[in-house]
Structure 1
């Protein structure tokens, strides 16, 4: 299934771009996610998902497949499996960052394949829940980046004053570490094509509100669904009530006869 979500963070695009390429910075911002490994262009981790009384633990890996610095676009392939072996999830995620003054707009296109219990929620509900989870992620990321940004200039000035040589060496090492991910502007113009074009994408705008949540806290899918789930269940509930009333009326008429 294809989904599209949008959110924004209150930092310049350069700051948001660097954060997006650093799994160790962004992973704690995603509800339920725990990063266990980040090496080269690959990373590994786990995600806890709560579906009613059942808690599922997905363990998986991800790879940065494409990073285009000029277009501010990154493509990630990720897949995982429920630790109990009852379901799988795989996704190709393409994120594009667009500057909007001092803020950054992020558009996320996801090609998702999921099996097991979460798949029972249905495509539409999964898209709506995904939008809300991204909203929580955006709020956590915005808080993290805005807290980091003011301190950065002071720390950088202090480091240069105390040890300019060490600072230069550290900067060089940091550039070398990140070089595998970044495609210099103008080096290529590769475009990402989704693997499932037959289904129209669903859009959902994520509002950056709310506080942070512990990274190891499970994502409550039914709790996150909230109103959308109630809207979908309401017609079913009404139908059940109507059938129940009709059944009672029929029984009463039969008794009178």
Structure 2
């Protein structure tokens, strides 16, 4: 079956093109997906799918068939199968990027072939489900593309606050191994007054070195945060599509039951 989608990313064409070619960054945007390896134009991965009480794990491979920077076209082919034999899935995805004002329009065409339990839903239901899943994917891609190129690792916020709190009154931060301004003066700066008894002066407390700014660990952006729950995606679609029909059928059954009951009385 063929599915078509269209969305707009509020970032420049070049930034969006860069994001779409960073597979390690955009793979986690798809619910349940885990990218296990990337080698040149080829990659491997898994997708965890939950359909009610049934949990499926698709393992598969894929490759970039085309990455045309002049036309800003990306073509990806991927195939996979469930570890427990519940079905197979294959798709060829073509994405074409074009300028759209200050943003970028993305047209996606997916040629999909699904077997097994997920294939029990018709094309219309699968189209609606893919629309819902694409909304999540697009929001994630927009967040990544809108931020431009990946930024460098920033210090942990807690460590930065600790460093700021250990500064001197003038806003300067005491460096590890260096005494604070008060300690630099030392006891020699507070000698006994002329003609008076020597005063015992307690040395100032040793300065607390500024907490080393521990860089936040670089998380490997290879896995999405959760599995793909088709149940939560399917039921709203089924209710919207077949709810009126089911309600009408329920009314007919209720009327028939009332007529039969009245006839018996």
* Fold similarity call, TM over 0.5: yes
Offset of 1:18 from its aligned partner? 1.7
TM-score of the superposed pair, with normalisation by structure 1: 0.70
Q: Distance in 2 between matches of 1:76 and 1:151?
A: 27
With over 3 angstroms needed to count, the CA separation of the structure-2 counterparts of 1:12 and 1:251, relative to structure 1, is same
Preserved contact between residue 15 and residue 148 of structure 2 (Cα < 8 Å): no
How many equivalent pairs are there?
195
Distance 1:95 1:226 in 2: 29
Q: Partner of 2:147 in structure 1?
A: 147
Structure 2 counterpart of 1:97: 97
> Residue by residue, what CA displacement relative to the aligned partner does 1:205-225 show, whole Å, maximum 9, x if unpaired?
xxxxxxxxx704112223224
Partner residue, 1:39: 39
Q: 5 Å matches for 1:107-118?
A: 107-118=107-118
Between 1 and 2, higher relative CO (CA 8 Å, sep ≥ 6) is seen in: 1
Q: Deviations over 1:163-221 (max 9, x none)?
A: xxxxxxxxxxxxxxxxxxxxxxxxxxxxxxxxxxxxxxxxxxxxxxxxxxx70411222
Q: Does 1:24 align with 2:33?
A: no
The 2-side partners of 1:147 and 1:94 are apart by: 24
Per the alignment, residue 55 of structure 2 pairs with: 55
Q: Alpha-carbon deviation of 1:254? A: 4.2
Bigger radius of gyration among the two: 2
CA distance in 2, matches of 1:239, 1:53: 29
1:66 match: 66
Tell me what 2:130 maps to.
130
For the aligned residues, what is the CA RMSD? 2.0
Matched, 1:230 2:239: yes
Could you tell me how far apart the structure 2 residues matched to 1:146 and 1:136 are?
Answer: 15
Secondary structure of the structure 2 residue equivalent to 1:232: helix
Report the alpha carbon displacement of residue 251 of structure 1 after superposing the two structures with TM. 2.6
Inter-partner Cα distance in structure 1 for 2:119 and 2:252: 28
Aligned to 1:218: 227
How is 1:172-251 mapped onto 2 (pairs within 5 angstroms)?
Answer: 215-225=224-234, 227-251=236-260
2-structure distance, mates of 1:70, 1:226: 42
CA contact (8 A) 1:7 1:107 kept: yes
Q: Which has the higher helix share?
A: 1
Unpaired segments of 5 or more residues in structure 1?
A: 153-213
Mapped to 2, the partners of 1:253 and 1:89 lie a distance apart of: 53
Cα shift at 1:35:
0.2
Per-residue CA deviation, residues 73-113 of structure 1 (Å, 9 max, x unaligned), is 11111111111111011111110001123311110001111
- What secondary structure does 1:70 align onto? coil
Kept in 1, the 8 Å contact 2:32–2:226? The answer is yes
Contact (CA 8 Å) 1:74, 1:96: kept in 2 or not?
yes
